Amino acid sequence: MPTVPLVAFSDQRLANGLRLIIAEDHLAPVVAVSVWYNVGSKHEVPGKTGFAHLFEHVMFQGSAHVGKAEHIALVQAAGGTMNGTTWLDRTNYFETMPSHQLELALWLEADRMATLLDALSQENLDNQREVVKNEKRWSYDNRPYGSWNEKLQAHLFPPEHPYHHSTIGSMEDLEAASLDDVKGFFRTYYAPNNAVLAIVGDVDPDDARQWTERYFGGIPANPDIPPLGDLSLPPTLGGERRETVIDRVPLPRVYFGFRAPVYGDRRLDALDIAGQILAGGKGSRLHRRLVREERLAQDVALFTLGFIGGASITAGWATARPGIDPGALERAFLEELDRLAAAPVSEDELARARALVESDELGALARVEERADRLAMYATLFDDPDLVNRMLPRYLAVTADQIRDVCAAVFRADNRLVLTYLPEIPPADSSVEPADQPLDEEVAA
């Protein structure tokens, strides 16, 4: 079996605390820059949901020496690609550039880390507020089954926990975000000692260090970044939660959610492999039984979302074929989870899952952008960038017993959320029967 080539990297800190990770790879004339800030939607306070993400948009509205939207214009004119994303535990910004344009990307990232507030205006904040509200409409509100993601977090985490609300936040809170909020957030969290910079690809490490020192070295640290409170949670929900949602969808769909071990916990590695065995493609157990053999489902999914504070999420769904009782679909889905929790998988089944995971990792890590992303992520979340070399061996070392044990701990009735989406009006041109299952809690989407 081939293994992922070792990623050799250097790891150092500037005097102001910025962590700099560099890995060389000269195969293609391409270099990736990844800047991770240790701030995410979990840092939002009540009444300010969605703010970390709105702030991320403001980061593209200019800084002292870069005009509105000019960051992206300069990257694209240099032949690069870029984006920024916000998630519960972190916010990241990244560029992939032709290698001779690396210095420009570093300068652009430094200018906004140093001087974002110099260019801040009410007009730009208001504009991006509207853009983000349209992002919410597009990604959630105007999409069939679009509310499931928000409901998943709301059910699996208690109201006082910062994972309770979604990264996109609420319209009311977005409306309330002010210039002062932007200033406070920037001064608190967007400091070099709260960031990791990873540079991977066709780069001379001495050049990269010199440029990083030149552009980032003069940005002051913030010695007073407030620590997050205790995010720990009981490992299970403590009781089944159910909700039925009436939505404008033609086919019923049942979503499942479970609290899972935190990201980084070895048991989560085993749960990832369990997800592959249960729903990773056409050979998986759920697909084979629900889609191919019993023909209850149009499609199935199951995956893990790893979070470092308190608990992760394992979630999945199955879409009912016309005429199929969502209750029967739910029972069949859960039976497959129970079966994996009751008996170890065969060696052949585990070997197939390992082989697929290995190919996926090989494919992902072939790209410099993915390698930079992983190095910065592992450094930010675990203070351990070398996980880029150890995660695949960890996955390949997962045993059948470990899979059974974690499934038994996670896929429990008292740790389970079941969200059932039912059609508002059954489609006229299908054989869908009116759903006659009991509604536990009816919520219009």
Q: What share of the chain is helix, strand, coil (3-state, %, to 5)?
A: 45, 20, 35
Q: Which stretch binds other proteins (CB under 8 A): 136-144, 235-243, 266-274, 372-380?
A: 136-144
Of positions 9, 60, 256, 333, contacts other proteins by CB under 8 A: 60
76 forms part of the interface with other proteins (CB under 8 A)? yes
Of positions 219, 329, 337, 375, contacts other proteins by CB under 8 A: 219
**Residue 337 CB, nearest approach to other proteins (Å):** 19
103 forms part of the interface with other proteins (CB under 8 A)? yes
128 forms part of the interface with other proteins (CB under 8 A)? yes
164 forms part of the interface with other proteins (CB under 8 A)? no
Of positions 231, 248, 327, 408, contacts other proteins by CB under 8 A: 248
Residue list 342-381, contact with other proteins (CB under 8 A) = 348, 351-353, 355-356, 358-359, 362-363, 366-368
138 forms part of the interface with other proteins (CB under 8 A)? yes
72 forms part of the interface with other proteins (CB under 8 A)? yes
59 forms part of the interface with other proteins (CB under 8 A)? yes
Of positions 10, 11, 24, 99, contacts other proteins by CB under 8 A: 99
Residue list 305-324, contact with other proteins (CB under 8 A) = 305, 313, 315, 317, 319, 321-322
Cβ(268)–Cβ(391) below 8 Å:
no
Nearest partner of 388 among 403, 368, 417, judged by Cα:
368
Residue list 28-47, contact with other proteins (CB under 8 A) = 28-30
98 forms part of the interface with other proteins (CB under 8 A)? yes
158 forms part of the interface with other proteins (CB under 8 A)? no
Cβ(72)–Cβ(109) below 8 Å:
no
Helix (H) or strand (E) holding 125: helix 122-136
**Cα dihedral sign for 410, 290, 294, 426?**
positive
Residue 201 CB neighbours (<10 A) = 27
β-pairing, 241-247 vs 442-444, is parallel
296 forms part of the interface with other proteins (CB under 8 A)? no
**Residue 415 CB, nearest approach to other proteins (Å):** 18
130 forms part of the interface with other proteins (CB under 8 A)? yes
Q: Which stretch binds other proteins (CB under 8 A): 139-147, 230-238, 392-400, 412-420?
A: 139-147
Q: How many residues bind other proteins (CB under 8 A)?
A: 122
- If 0-12 CB within 10 Å is exposed, 13-18 middle and 19+ buried, where does residue 10 land? middle
Q: Of the two residues 283 and 344, which places its CB atom closer to other proteins in the complex?
A: 283
Distance CA 344, CA 326 (A): 28
Tokens of 206: 């001495």
Sheet order of strands, 241-247 included: 297-305, 312-320, 253-260, 416-423, 241-247, 442-444
Distance CA 365, CA 378 (A): 14
Those residues with Cβ within 8 angstroms of residue 22's Cβ, 6 or more apart along the chain or in another chain: 9, 10, 198, 199, 200, 203, 205, 208, 209
427 forms part of the interface with other proteins (CB under 8 A)? yes
Cβ(304)–Cβ(271) below 8 Å:
yes
Cβ(53)–Cβ(167) below 8 Å:
yes
**Residue 97 CB, nearest approach to other proteins (Å):** 8
Of positions 42, 43, 48, 129, contacts other proteins by CB under 8 A: 129
**Residue 19 CB, nearest approach to other proteins (Å):** 18
Distance CA 224, CA 353 (A): 46
Residue list 397-426, contact with other proteins (CB under 8 A) = none
295 forms part of the interface with other proteins (CB under 8 A)? yes
Q: Which stretch binds other proteins (CB under 8 A): 57-65, 373-381, 387-395, 404-412?
A: 57-65
Q: Of the two residues 134 and 232, which places its CB atom closer to other proteins in the complex?
A: 134
Contact letters (x/-) for other proteins, 194-213, by CB under 8 A?
--------x--------x--
Instruction: Give whole-number Cα distances, 204 to 25, 150, 399, in Å.
Output: 10, 44, 41
